[in-house]
Structure 1
């Protein structure tokens, strides 16, 4: 009996062992496809989108405070609608701002003057921005106001190439953001996103009065090379450069201002947001750019975006990430686009409108405050082709303010000249012109005449330096020859660099090539466009000495003008030009623009040339120069004009 039980137990144990073995084999067989599915899931592509704004310049509401009218082509309130749509399409998003955020319109000026939370920053907080950087105009109000804006931000800001004199960074040099994203298989993935910011080192010259001795700046490309590599070593799966810089394919020079093209060639950077130049990439304006694919929005294979200005576009960078053989995520492809807000199906976000409404109302009350009257219209429709009253008024204000401040100084004995440029002369929009009707003048008109918060500055120059200043400004014109009608204005020359200097007479000959390029490099040493240069009727000699009133931007080297580098400043006044203009108008009450022109005029030399130029269609109604002829509307909202240089 016991022998039988032992035999039965042995059989039972054998059956159990066999059953266990069968279960193990079955489990292994069942798990095999699961393991394969898991491996495939780990290597499933991950789609990631970066949304970007740049050069908002305080434009939150869809409103033009200078013309005092709604403007559907501007405003973060309308961009917010595109942001919401992108978020509804994908949760794998990063929202960033690329700088030039807190300066640029009357609302921004009021926000800077407030002591509480910064109104523009508060809107970005509300929209849930993830990161940002600073642009050159962030420094226009000085470091204390920038520091306050940074403290108000509930998102991190970074800039890699700016530091304080002791070497400590102005802001974090780089960010490493941890995010949980979802790949195409639905699996959650941990992703490390590296972000670095870059700002033009020229800020040290452009805002010398605010930054001298307070900041150091490095070359953007050198800095990006170092910091992007550091982010990859720290584990970043991808690196995004928030680069407040334009796109220029010319060979890189250390300290260059526009380096977006060169950043695209850095191996450790995967995607780039550019700006600063107030242009749109990808877009037809960049046709012919080397190594650019405008259909895909790439440069050298890297996705790059420049989302216009004032909120005209939302930049969108779309990346695909996938694990490599080591299991680390890599960017395998990418594309970019700039989505315009000027579309019938894009309306302002109600929540943003409601949030900015109190500040918008304050701004309207401010810009509508009267400061004087004008007996005649003031406009800048033809400021790039002839001496212009809108520029002459600024010149007159500068002369008046400088004389008072130089009284009793050694510089009082120097001949005093006044340099000013047309800030609103059609850049980016056919509405971007000064256009003030006869009648009351308000603060909005002052801001229209003088767009930037520059301060009054006086520099010393000799006759040779004065001529170089004028030659640099004359680069605004193309080189024309006799024959068929040709475009008068040089491409990509900013109107704010076309200085006209009052107090002297001179002629510009556009049949001769420009002596300097846009960066102030001497390219035609044998060419001189400036002729008949006289002061009080006598020719200006090389050793003559003058005091020239200008602004802190130009005096500190802004615009790359030869001889202007901050070393020859006679007076650096703290007075903002807008404040001086408003006070000047208030003191005079009623003005006649034609009677305010300071002595001295510039003119284009007579030649057998007919030139074409573009301006606002409104210019056709105010032509008072027999040399100018309206030729009809252009397809993009501008109007075409011709100028007969052979006419008297």
Structure 2
């Protein structure tokens, strides 16, 4: 290349930061190699090079105790994540699905405080069909090079989110929106480089093209690479994967979650008389022990962090008995005090006698004898609310079969976790355990035929009868391929966060007895 006509551009990418600034694990105070305070050190080092752009791909403002505490108790103050993002000089951010978890008023405050635009071309107003939050894309000039950055958000959000939080919004198909907007950008802007920043992931194996999940439309990254012409770079997220590769000539990058990795896309552009020659490479930079914390970022949010830590250490009550977790897999094989406790809380609050819940991930510690808010947010990591929906006995059977697909029989003849619930993204939260019914799952039976016992109040459940069941709002909307729940009547909507409900339940009773009635089990 003739260096006189060549422009080098570095695009740094973050995604799924989920409210992590300090490199601290909130459940045990241990330091971790993640968070914006460490990323900032790396970003500022790289800013010494010319032509560096910084882009966030969504799920920035939700996901840690820091963000939960701010949303619930400090929402009238400046948002700590936005204070840091402004300091880092982001060029733009894309809306992720979790941006909507605290409602549109909270989100609008975030947008107003941001010194950078928020992008999403496919989230539109219900009344006029125009992009709901302003800019669908931006055009950024680097010397004589024009870069278009288009924001796209997974359109599957209505399947999870509280309807009140997305009232008046329409989530258009991500793939079709990308096609239309990329065409529009090429025709009207004639950019030299097109970057699509998509808060969504890949529905197929990036090498073989084989489906890796049920093709619901939640993730369409592979289709976008294969079907949309004129994209140079596809930034992805949502699945929390570490990816830096190419699909069909499109450079793809996905930098994991919580600020563990920094994505870097290096773009060389040479403008010739009749063409624009581009060389694009991508990489992932790991945040390790050698990367120190940026004190300036730490100081920016010190008061927020200290208030959160005080709140986390607030005593709530006591547990008599054992609700700790030593083996998360065993928790999912037979009834246990922790899951029974969460289900009992849900049934008590909703005043119904059937409930389901999950052990969300394999790092949940359970409850020790002395319970604090830290213990609660360490176990219940999502800002879920509760819904009671009316479903039939047949729906309950189908839901249990869906949960039973979590298991397989491995080569040693033992019960194991189905790889579909681990790769490409761990989805342990999509296996439910129930209270109020008695059931048995036999894993040597074929998938779809594993429920060998299903009773309600001591008698076989009536498949034609309707039952009121309480569950979290994500599941009640059909999230996790529980399609049997979609469109079912909502009998009761309980809008308070489950962490608050758990805390209040323990505070009111002061001492909780760990009980286990062994109403279900998984057998070989």
Contact 2:23/2:31 (CA < 8 Å) preserved in 1?
yes
1:498 shift after superposition: 0.6
Contact 2:439/2:519 (CA < 8 Å) preserved in 1?
yes
Contact 2:103/2:166 (CA < 8 Å) preserved in 1?
no
1:47 shift after superposition: 1.9
Counterpart among 252, 256, 270 of residue 232 in structure 2? 270
Contact 2:478/2:485 (CA < 8 Å) preserved in 1?
yes
State the Cα RMSD in Å: 2.1
Gaps of 5+ in 2: 205-209, 422-426
| Cα distance in 2 for residues equivalent to 1:146 and 1:578 | 21
- In structure 2, the residue matched to 1:514 is 447
Does 1:151 pair with 2:102? no
| Cα distance in 1 for residues equivalent to 2:474 and 2:366 | 25
- In structure 1, the residue matched to 2:242 is 280
- In structure 2, the residue matched to 1:455 is 385
314 and 564 in structure 1: CA distance in 2 versus 1, 3 angstrom threshold: same
198 and 390 in structure 1: CA distance in 2 versus 1, 3 angstrom threshold: farther
536 and 567 in structure 1: CA distance in 2 versus 1, 3 angstrom threshold: closer
Does 1:193 pair with 2:147? yes
1:348 shift after superposition: 1.1
Does 1:259 pair with 2:225? no
Scaled by the length of structure 2, the TM-score of the pair is 0.91
- In structure 1, the residue matched to 2:357 is 420
Matches within 5 A, 1:495-644: 495-515=428-448, 528-593=449-514, 595=515, 597=516, 601-605=519-523, 607=524
- The SS at the match of 2:375 is helix
Matches within 5 A, 1:356-367: 356-367=301-312
Contact 2:120/2:137 (CA < 8 Å) preserved in 1?
no
Contact 1:219/1:255 (CA < 8 Å) preserved in 2?
no
Does 1:484 pair with 2:412? yes
Contact 1:102/1:112 (CA < 8 Å) preserved in 2?
no
1:363 shift after superposition: 0.7
Matches within 5 A, 1:143-292: 143-166=104-127, 167-180=129-142, 189-211=143-165, 213-233=167-187, 234-249=189-204, 250=210, 256-265=217-226, 266-282=228-244
Contact 1:159/1:198 (CA < 8 Å) preserved in 2?
yes
- In structure 1, the residue matched to 2:283 is 337
Gaps of 5+ in 1: 1-38, 181-188, 283-296, 404-414, 426-431, 516-527, 608-648
Matches within 5 A, 1:45-84: 45-67=6-28, 69-84=29-44
1:581 shift after superposition: 0.5
Counterpart among 52, 58, 61 of residue 99 in structure 1? 58
1:237 shift after superposition: 1.4
1:255 shift after superposition: 6.2
Contact 2:14/2:55 (CA < 8 Å) preserved in 1?
yes
Does 1:300 pair with 2:264? no
- In structure 2, the residue matched to 1:347 is 292
Contact 1:420/1:499 (CA < 8 Å) preserved in 2?
yes
Larger RCO (CA within 8 A; separation ≥ 6): 2
Does 1:400 pair with 2:348? yes
Spell out, residue by residue over 1:280-333, the C-alpha distance to the aligned partner (whole angstroms, 9 max, x if none): 113xxxxxxxxxxxxxx2222222111111111111112221224425x45x22
377 and 53 in structure 1: CA distance in 2 versus 1, 3 angstrom threshold: farther
| Cα distance in 1 for residues equivalent to 2:338 and 2:266 | 45
122 and 244 in structure 1: CA distance in 2 versus 1, 3 angstrom threshold: same
- Please identify runs of 4+ aligned residues in structure 1 that moved more than 4 A: 39-42, 250-255
Contact 1:159/1:197 (CA < 8 Å) preserved in 2?
yes
Aligned residues: 505
1:486 shift after superposition: 5.3
